[in-house]
Amino acid sequence: MTELDEATTLTTQPAPVRPARRGELFGPIRLGWRQLTSMRTALLLLFLLALAAVPGGFLPQRKINPVRVNDYIRGHGALGRFMNRIGMFDVFSSVWFSAIYLLLFASLVGCLVPRTRLHARALLARPPKVPKTLKRLPVSESWSAPAAADEVLDGARATLRGWRVERRGTELSAEKGYLRETGNLVFHLSLVVLLVGLALNQFFGFKGTVLVVQGKGFSNTLAFYDNVQPGRRFDPSSLVPFTVNLKEFHATYASDGKALTFDADVAWSRPGSSAKRYDIRVNHPLQVGTAKTYLIGHGYAPHIVFRDVDGTVVGDSPVPCLPQDPQFLSTCVIKEASTKGTQFGFRGVFTPTTVTDATQRVGSSYPGPRNPALTLVAFTGDLGLDGGTPQSVYSLDTTAMKAVDNGTAHALLPGQTWRLPDGASLTYVDTPEWATFQVTQDPSRWVVLLAAVGIVGGLLLSLFVRRRRVWVRAGEGQDGTTTVEVGGLSRTDPERFASEFAFLVSEMRDACRTKA
C-alpha cells in the first residue's frame, strides 16, 4: 500500500481474493474460505436466499396450511408429488434453504471477525499521516495566513471540535465518524444474534393449541392440548403451571357480518392461588410467567343430548363444529352408541343464521346466532371405535354404516328432538360457543428482540454517519506568513462533505485572522 492508499482507505472491506500460491499447504482450503467470505459470494448468496424464498411466498406451506398443501398436491398429480419431494411445500425447513442461509451466515462471520479486528485497531490508532500531496485529494484548499504555524494549527484544531485530531510536527490529521463502521458491525453481529435466538426457540420453545367450550377449561400440561409443537430439546417440566377456564366467549359483528370484536372472558389461576379474571382478546394475550395464552379461533358447539329407547341419557355434551366460511356455516360430526350397542353417526352443518336457497340447500347469512339450526344426516352401523386405530372426532367414516331415512337431512332448531327409527332420540338443546387458545412459551424472545434493536440501531449508524478525514499542513511562507494546505476525503455523500469542508476551511481562515 502506498501512503496515499493507506490514508485514503476508509473502509475495512476485505481485499480481493488472492490466488493460492503453488505448494501452499491448505492452499485450496484457504482459497475456498476466502472465496466464501468475499463480498461477491455474500452478494450471490443474498440473491439466492431471496430466490429460494419465492416458492414459499406463492405456494401453500405445510406449516401454515397443511390442508391446502394436500389439495394442491392432489390437484397437480405427478408434478405436485415431485414438488413435494423437493420440499416446495416446506421451503423454510428444506435442506436447500437451510444450506443457503447457513453458508451466508458462515460468510458473514468470516467477514465480521477480521473486520471487527481491523475496526478495533482503527479505533485505537491515531488518524493517519498527512499524504504528501494534499492537492490530489477530492477536496483541497491552500492559502497564505498572516500568522505563525503554531497559531494556524491551534486555530485549525479549535475548528475541528468533535474530531479526533493528531498533531505531528507542523501537520494535523483529523478523523470523524468511526460510528459508521461500529454501526455496520453491530448490524451484522445482530443478524447472527437473531439467528441464534431463532435457533434457541426451535430447541427450547413450546407451542400448544386447545379448543375449549364455554364453561370448560384447560391446564398448561401436555395432556390437555389438541396439538403441540415442542422444540427439539423442550422439557415438559418447564411448562408454567396454570389453569384457564373459559367463562364466556363473546363476538360482535357489523351488520354486513364483518367481525368487530372477539372477547374470551376467562378465570385463570396458578396452583395454590385464587382465580383472577382476564379478558383475552386478539392483540391482548394472557401472560403467566413466560407462557402467553392467545385467542386464535372460535366457533359454535351445539349442545346435544342423546337418549336410548328407554329414555336413558347416554350422551350429553356440546359438540364443537368447525367453521367453513366467513358466515360460520360449520361442519359437525356426532358419534353416539346406545346401551344396547347400536352405534349412530351424524354428519351435518350448523348454521348460526340459517337461510335456505331454492334447491333447499342450507346456508348461513350472518356469523352471529340470529337463527341457529343444526341440519343432520344419520348413519347406523359400525363407527369403527373398537378397531383400536385412533380417529378424529371431526370426521366420520361411513364405509361400514348405512344411512338412516335414505340419507334425508333433518333440520333441528334449538330445543327440538329427532326421534330415530329404532326409538333412540337426539335433542339439540342450545348453542354454547367455543374458543381455541394457543399457549406459547418462548424463552429466547428477548434475545430476538435485542437482536432487532441492534439491527435497526446499527443500520441507522452505518447509513447516516459519514466517515471523513481532514489533513492540515502548515508550511513556512514568505515574510513570516504561513502557507496552509488543507485536504479532505469522504467516501459517502461527497457533495455534503464538500460543503462541510468549505465551511471548515472558512472557519480555519477566520481563526487565524482573529489571532493575527
Partner 1 sequence: MPDKGLGQLGDGLLFTAVVVYALAMLGFAGEQATSRARRTVTSVRAASQVLVGSGPPVTVPTETVTVLKPSRAGQVAFLLTCAGWVIHLASIVLRGFAAHRVPWGNMYEFSSAVAFVAVTAFLGMVVRGRIERSLGAFVMVPVVLYLGLASSLLYTAAGPLVPALHSYWIKIHVAAAILASGSFLLSGVVALLYLLRSRYDDGGRVFPISLGASLPTAAALDRMSYAVIAFAFPVWTFAIIAGAIWAESAWGRYWGWDPKETWSFITWVLYAGYLHARATAGWKGRKAAWVAVAAAGALIVDYYVVNIFVVGLHSYA
Q: Which listed range, 29-37, 292-300, 316-324, 386-394, lies at the site for partner 1 (CB under 8 A)? A: 292-300
Q: Which of 4, 20, 31, 49 binds partner 1 (CB under 8 A)?
A: 49
Q: Does 506 bind partner 1 (CB under 8 A)?
A: no
Q: Which is nearer to partner 1, 46 or 113 (CB)?
A: 46
Q: Which listed range, 57-65, 142-150, 213-221, 350-358, lies at the site for partner 1 (CB under 8 A)? A: 57-65
Q: Does 102 bind partner 1 (CB under 8 A)?
A: no
Q: Which listed range, 145-153, 168-176, 359-367, 443-451, lies at the site for partner 1 (CB under 8 A)? A: 443-451
Q: Which listed range, 167-175, 267-275, 278-286, 329-337, lies at the site for partner 1 (CB under 8 A)? A: 278-286
CB 457 within 8 A of CB 186: yes
Least spacing, CB of residue 440 vs partner 1, in Å: 5
Q: Does 284 bind partner 1 (CB under 8 A)?
A: yes
Q: Which of 6, 26, 32, 40 binds partner 1 (CB under 8 A)?
A: 40
The alpha carbon dihedral of 140, 143, 149, 153 has a sign of negative
Least spacing, CB of residue 326 vs partner 1, in Å: 11
Per-residue HEC secondary structure of 403-448 comes to: EHHHHCCEEECCCCEEECCCCCEEEECCCCEEEEEEEEECCCHHHH
Least spacing, CB of residue 339 vs partner 1, in Å: 43
Q: Does 450 bind partner 1 (CB under 8 A)?
A: no
Per the structure block, which three cell numbers stand in for 493? 455523500
Rg (CA), the chain: 37
DSSP 332-354: EEEEEE-TTS-EEEEEEEEESBE
DSSP tag of 385: G
CA 64 to chain centre: 13
Q: Does 239 bind partner 1 (CB under 8 A)?
A: no
Backbone angles phi, psi at 102, to 5 degrees: -70, -40
Question: Going along 124-213, which residue ranges are E strands?
Answer: 139-145, 164-168, 171-176, 206-213
Least spacing, CB of residue 40 vs partner 1, in Å: 6
Q: Which listed range, 34-42, 144-152, 304-312, 344-352, lies at the site for partner 1 (CB under 8 A)? A: 34-42
Site string for partner 1, 178-197 (x = CB under 8 A): --------------------
Own/partner contacts of 385-388, CB < 8 Å, gap of 24 or more, are 385/335, 385/337, 385/343
Q: Does 258 bind partner 1 (CB under 8 A)?
A: yes
Least spacing, CB of residue 192 vs partner 1, in Å: 15
Distance between terminal CA atoms of the chain?
41
Per the structure block, which three cell numbers stand in for 386? 373398537
Beta-carbon count within 10 A of 93 CB: 12
Q: Does 30 bind partner 1 (CB under 8 A)?
A: no
Site string for partner 1, 343-382 (x = CB under 8 A): ----------------------------------------
DSSP 212-271: EETT-EEESSGGG-SEEEE-TT--GGGSPP-EEEEEEEEEEE-TTS-EEEEEEEEEEE-T
User: Distance between CA atoms of 473 and 170, rounded to whole angstroms?
Assistant: 6
Q: Does 57 bind partner 1 (CB under 8 A)?
A: yes
Least spacing, CB of residue 452 vs partner 1, in Å: 5
DSSP tag of 126: P
- 418-451 core/surface letters (b: 16 or more CB in 10 A; e: else): bebeeebebbbeebbbbbbbbbbbbbbbebbeeb
Site string for partner 1, 401-440 (x = CB under 8 A): -------------------------------------x-x
Per the structure block, which three cell numbers stand in for 275? 382465580
- Hey, which residues does 295 pair with through a beta bridge? 437
Q: Which of 448, 477, 498, 507 binds partner 1 (CB under 8 A)?
A: 448
CB 439 within 8 A of CB 280: no
Least spacing, CB of residue 282 vs partner 1, in Å: 5
Q: Which of 455, 486, 508, 511 binds partner 1 (CB under 8 A)?
A: 455
Residues in contact with partner 1, counted by CB under 8 A, come to a total of 52
CB 130 within 8 A of CB 168: yes
Q: Which listed range, 338-346, 383-391, 403-411, 442-450, lies at the site for partner 1 (CB under 8 A)? A: 442-450
Interacting residues toward partner 1 by CB under 8 A: 13, 16, 39-40, 42-43, 46-47, 49-50, 53-54, 56-58, 60-61, 63-65, 68, 91-92, 198, 207, 254, 258-262, 281-285, 292, 294, 296, 438, 440, 445, 448-449, 452, 455-456, 459-460, 463-464, 495
